A and B are shown apart, each in its own frame.
Chain A
């Protein structure tokens, strides 16, 4: 079981976490330059990054609370089954 978790987690984390982290490597100045060249007078638009780090504390606190509730439930279930 442990090897399943380690292998699957390593594989999935390699793909996803690395992908997100490597976004920092993209040269956004170059992107902006290409955009300006292609469309010198862009209309006013909203750019919407997916995740705003500053807004995440509440979500993580909420999720941690739910995980603690689930953990307590499962712990009692295990203890009841001996």
Chain B
């Protein structure tokens, strides 16, 4: 910790913070799973309070405030964390006991107020005061487990302006949303009419029904119709693009020319709305001419994200070309000519792009899976020279770690999820050579291209990038708690099964740390996926190939 003598070293503070965070999440899950807020109609003045327990509004508000705060405080986050880590001789464990007592009190009061065990809710103003006090104390003691009160007060003094700004931005966002609800219907009507117009130019049987007076309209052909609700009006896309542009402007504020760069807001908003109109039109055309199943199952869930991705990539290209404050970069001798991050990140980008397209063209079965394998494989092949230094001498350890990860995966991932019976049914309907070819590509993708692409990005690049801005200055295998935990959690998020994915990510990181070789993480990942492929093919556990 910056060479200072401290009572608690960085590692122990990091472990404590991670354990306390996990415990808090587990406690929240336990409370919400155990108790159900009662009908508070007998005490109408407390309805809002019990609604807070069950409804998701407080979680949305917390996410909004948290995200705004992190964005505003991002430039100063290291100093803030440094304040919290400064814990000379701090006795933290008594606060664990205090937190436990407060939590039990909160649970007891909840059970009394909600009538969980007696069946009779005991809601009153006195109960509400005690309930709020117990909840506040539970959280306050949790904060004191992490760091002393003096450190939290110093953080508050450092960050009070950002905190106030975050609360103001969040409140304005919420209020703005309520006011702008009135725009949903015109937006939905515009989407409906423009989609209908484009369709009528392509298909003579196209029609649309504005259904005036209702909350939805319809557009389609004689064989395929979709309903346009306000929720399909383009608002979600507009919100996502707005958040993206705000974050992008903030992250690259040193490289963009202001106020010109603010043009990205209107450009992004108009483009994503038009992309939604196009999505609705394509959905109807695919449903009419190609496959209603693909339109309803694959394209329907993916097209919004594909449109969002294309629009945001376009915005990045526009800002890079016309809105940059830096002079144009040209010449083969420029620093841009050597880019070691490309071989590490491009395979994963190719894998994600092809996975989205494959999912969009499928109806419960990834018919075009081999295309993803070929394209990702081509990118890996193109950069093959960069991978020679990743591997070392023979070692049994990566294979042992990979086997352990396989055991964890079998334990945690339900076999009924993912590609199940429809895969078997579809393959059975194909000619034998075609089904065999598809399975070969599925195994090749699972055992070769996916582990390579994911490990190069997570253990080759991200785990080092989370240590220092210039990742080349960080040797592979350099350990910090922050990069280890964050990269493992992000790996878990990518794999749908958060817990199993995070454990797998942590295990592959350990394979890397043993000898500082990314190749060991790749071999461990390949081993796990190979064993999963064996389980799928030998035992018929198709659910593992999610």
Q: Are A49 and B231 in contact (CB under 8 A)?
A: yes
Question: Which among B121-129, B298-306, B403-411, B503-511 touches the partner chain?
Answer: B298-306
Contacting residues, chain A, for B461 (C-beta < 8 A) = 68
Interface size class of chain A, counting residues whose CB lies under 8 Å from the partner chain: 35 or more
A18-B174, A69-B342 known; A12 and B245 CB under 8 Å? yes
Q: Smallest CB–CB gap between B168 and chain A, Å?
A: 8
A18-B175, A76-B336 known; A12 and B242 CB under 8 Å? yes
B280 on the interface (CB 8 Å rule)? yes
Q: Are A55 and B359 in contact (CB under 8 A)?
A: yes
Provide the bound-state CA to CA distance between A58 and B304, in Å: 12
Provide the bound-state CA to CA distance between A72 and B230, in Å: 40
Provide the bound-state CA to CA distance between A35 and B226, in Å: 14
Provide the bound-state CA to CA distance between A73 and B259, in Å: 22
B240 on the interface (CB 8 Å rule)? yes
Provide the bound-state CA to CA distance between A63 and B345, in Å: 11
How many A-B residue contacts, CB cutoff 8 Å? 255
Q: Are A77 and B336 in contact (CB under 8 A)?
A: yes
Q: Are A73 and B173 in contact (CB under 8 A)?
A: no
Question: Which among B77-85, B133-141, B209-217, B419-427 touches the partner chain?
Answer: B209-217
- B81-124 CB mask vs A (1 if < 8 Å, else 0) is 00000000000000000000000000000000000000000000
The 8 Å CB contact of B276, one of A16, A18, A50, A72, is: A50
A12-B245, A65-B345 known; A46 and B313 CB under 8 Å? no
The 8 Å CB contact of B220, one of A1, A9, A45, is: A45
Provide the bound-state CA to CA distance between A14 and B172, in Å: 5
Contacting residues, chain B, for A24 (C-beta < 8 A) = 56-57, 60
Contacting residues, chain A, for B258 (C-beta < 8 A) = 1, 4-5
The 8 Å CB contact of A70, one of B242, B320, B335, is: B320
B309 on the interface (CB 8 Å rule)? yes
Contacting residues, chain A, for B251 (C-beta < 8 A) = 67, 71
The 8 Å CB contact of A8, one of B184, B218, B265, B308, is: B265
Q: Are A55 and B218 in contact (CB under 8 A)?
A: no
- Of all chain A residues, which has the CB nearest B72? A6
* Main SS at interface, chain B: helix
Provide the bound-state CA to CA distance between A12 and B117, in Å: 48
Provide the bound-state CA to CA distance between A69 and B317, in Å: 12
Q: Smallest CB–CB gap between B82 and chain A, Å?
A: 23
A6-B165, A59-B356 known; A20 and B469 CB under 8 Å? no
B178 on the interface (CB 8 Å rule)? yes
The 8 Å CB contact of B252, one of A14, A43, A70, A81, is: A70
Q: Are B301 and A52 in contact (CB under 8 A)?
A: yes
Contacting residues, chain B, for A54 (C-beta < 8 A) = 301, 496
A46-B287, A74-B326 known; A80 and B335 CB under 8 Å? yes
Provide the bound-state CA to CA distance between A47 and B242, in Å: 25
Provide the bound-state CA to CA distance between A54 and B298, in Å: 12
Q: Smallest CB–CB gap between A24 and chain B, Å?
A: 7
B278 on the interface (CB 8 Å rule)? no
Contacting residues, chain B, for A77 (C-beta < 8 A) = 255, 326, 329, 335-336
Contacting residues, chain A, for B36 (C-beta < 8 A) = none
The 8 Å CB contact of B240, one of A4, A5, A12, A51, is: A51
**A interface vs B, CB < 8 Å?**
1-2, 4-6, 8-10, 12-26, 31, 34-35, 38, 43, 45-52, 54-59, 61-63, 65-81
| Beyond A8-B249, A71-B252, 9 additional pairs, beta carbon < 8 A | A10-B169, A19-B239, A20-B238, A22-B177, A23-B181, A25-B181, A69-B341, A77-B255, A78-B254
6 contacts between A and B (CB under 8 A): A9-B245, A23-B181, A47-B232, A48-B300, A49-B232, A72-B341
**The 9 residue pairs across chains A and B that have the minimum distance between CB atoms:** A18-B177, A22-B177, A20-B239, A14-B176, A16-B242, A9-B246, A18-B173, A52-B301, A59-B305
